[in-house]
Structure 1
Amino acid sequence: MFLGSIARNHNAFPISYSSWRKIPKVYKEDILKNTIQTVLKAKFDIHSDVHINHVLKSLNTKWRDHRQELWHQRNDRTRTRDELIAMAPEGINRDHWALFVDYRLNSKTKEKECGHKVSRGDILIATHKHANGAFESDETKEIGEKIEAYGLTSSSLISKEISTTDSLACVFGSRKHCGRVRGLGLGPYPSKVFGCNTHLYSGTSSNTD
């Protein structure tokens, strides 16, 4: 119970980090020194590396499970990105929650969950539909239909690959831009995804993201 309450402390361990190992070491050391050791020192010796590693592994598991629980309570696979962001849990910084939503909707994250490749086009379609399956607007409907048509005319493998010629790139066209990459949230930049020498690429950010 005690470690579980600490793992759910969103100020100590922000939900915006994509994984436990991405949380800065200083955050973990601060919790160990100023919270856990202070409370438990009368009962346990947690100064040894073995006990510290055990505590950190337990926090890792509880932090991951808590994130999963928050996500599955809100994601019914029909809600759009904006709808999910609007459902930020009480006590969690809204910007941190938005980063977490983008991480969960990231195609690479979905591939891990599904066990197969998910294209950027799949992500855009899934996150721009209402619960009844209808697109948010005529504009997103037109874009979604073009993406679906591309999938029918391309091999399943090619259409799922993230590239400058995938479904989003073909629908939105190429342009020179230094922003982020569509469908991959706020993290990856085009140079990282498409190569450090990429100058012209497709599917950069817009209001439809």
Structure 2
Amino acid sequence: MGTKVDGLLGGCLGVLSRDFVAFPICYENWPAVSKVKKDAAWDNTIKEKFYWDERFEDAARSYIMKDIGKKWRSFRLRLYAKYYRKKKSFEENIANPPLSIPKDDWAEYLIYRSKRKTKEMCEKNQKNRSKLTINHTGGSKKLKRRKYEMEAKTNKEISRGVLYVETHKKHNGSFINEEAQTICEKICNIESQGTTSAKPSQNDSLGQVLGPERCGRVRGMSFGVCPSQVFGSRIERFCGTTPSSSTASATDMQLQFEVDKLQSKVASDSQLIKEMANTIALLCQQTNVPLPASVSSVTSETIVQDVVAQFPTQGEANQSQNDEANEPNNVRG
């Protein structure tokens, strides 16, 4: 998606996430928001302004709803911090809802915030947040959009490592703290050796310095991306070993999926052909007509073998991907 379109979509979703008529503030969490309201926003607002190929509409909807949910939660927290006053009574806080938010919805939200379970969750989140010692300087601009702009400017593919370095610098070019500087210097050292590809992998410059990814996110990539989508399903996490470069990548998985799908279709079609051949053979026997050689040689096994031979095996696909990933950065296909 181009930079301008990506920015326009992000702005539209930001406005929609702050519409507490479309998505009321009173729900305890985003999954609890009515599907009817999500469908209405998708059909009447998003699809009216943006277009996707029908093949990718489900993926687009999944990403967009997750993004709206993230923005909805963040804006809700900001409203709470701005309007809720600990020194005031619960009734006084309920009587002072933000503009454009119904009083009943605001009251339900404050009731949710006053629950013991909610308070314990907030305390846990604050403790986890305090452990974050390196903040990025990328602002609200998505990493995907920033990467697109950097590649357009430099006319070359940008790796996760280079993007990480860029988003941990201040405006004057210095790093945000010493810890970030140490990490970025290690990344730059690996990048300068030209031994890693710009394509994301578990063994690229960022992966070598920061180690394996956690479930649910991939560093240096936009919101909604998980390790299995980028590196494949068979990835090593927190096992104390360096991830192998032969691990199946997303491209390998897609290729294998297509091969498996074709094999299944061929097997189904070949079985039908074999049944037709048996029927023809029976008719020829009953009518004393010689059986054609082309029919007598039909078997599902030979058909499948002939078709499958045209496609690479998983090992061959992995080897092809590894050879490409091991090329220096200055070699372009």
TM-score if structure 2 supplies the norm length? 0.33
SS of the aligned residue for 1:10 comes to: coil
Aligned to 1:90: 99
Indicate conservation of the 8 Å contact 2:83/2:97, yes or no: no
Greater gyration radius: 2
C-alpha distance in 2 between matches for 1:34 and 1:74:
31
Indicate conservation of the 8 Å contact 2:25/2:76, yes or no: yes
Indicate conservation of the 8 Å contact 2:85/2:93, yes or no: no
Instruction: Specify which of 80, 84, 88 is matched with residue 75 of structure 1.
Output: 84
Aligned to 1:53: 62
Q: State whether structure 2 residue 11 is matched by structure 1 residue 26.
A: no
Aligned to 1:100: 109
Q: Which runs of 4+ in 1 moved over 2 A?
A: 44-47, 75-79
Q: Counterpart of 1:71 in structure 2: which amino acid?
A: Y
C-alpha distance in 1 between matches for 2:118 and 2:88:
17
- Structure 1 unaligned runs (5+)? 117-209
Tell me how far 1:45 sits from its aligned partner: 4.2
- Name whichever structure is richer in helix by fraction: 2
Identity of paired residues, percent?
32
C-alpha distance in 1 between matches for 2:88 and 2:114:
11
CA deviations over 1:83-124 (Å, ceiling 9, x no partner): 2112201111110110001111111110111239xxxxxxxx
Indicate conservation of the 8 Å contact 2:28/2:112, yes or no: yes
Q: State whether structure 2 residue 39 is matched by structure 1 residue 6.
A: no
The correspondence of residues 154-173 of structure 1 with structure 2, limited to 5 A, is: none
Change (3 A) 1:45 1:69: farther
Instruction: Specify which of 108, 111, 120 is matched with residue 111 of structure 1.
Output: 120
Q: Counterpart of 2:17 in structure 1: which amino acid?
A: A
Indicate conservation of the 8 Å contact 1:45/1:51, yes or no: no
C-alpha distance in 2 between matches for 1:99 and 1:76:
16
TM-score if structure 1 supplies the norm length? 0.51
C-alpha distance in 2 between matches for 1:105 and 1:90:
21
C-alpha distance in 2 between matches for 1:11 and 1:76:
24
Cα RMSD of the aligned pairs, angstroms, is 1.8
Q: Counterpart of 2:42 in structure 1: which amino acid?
A: L
Aligned to 1:133: none
Q: Counterpart of 1:19 in structure 2: which amino acid?
A: N
Tell me how far 1:80 sits from its aligned partner: 1.8
Tell me how far 1:79 sits from its aligned partner: 2.5
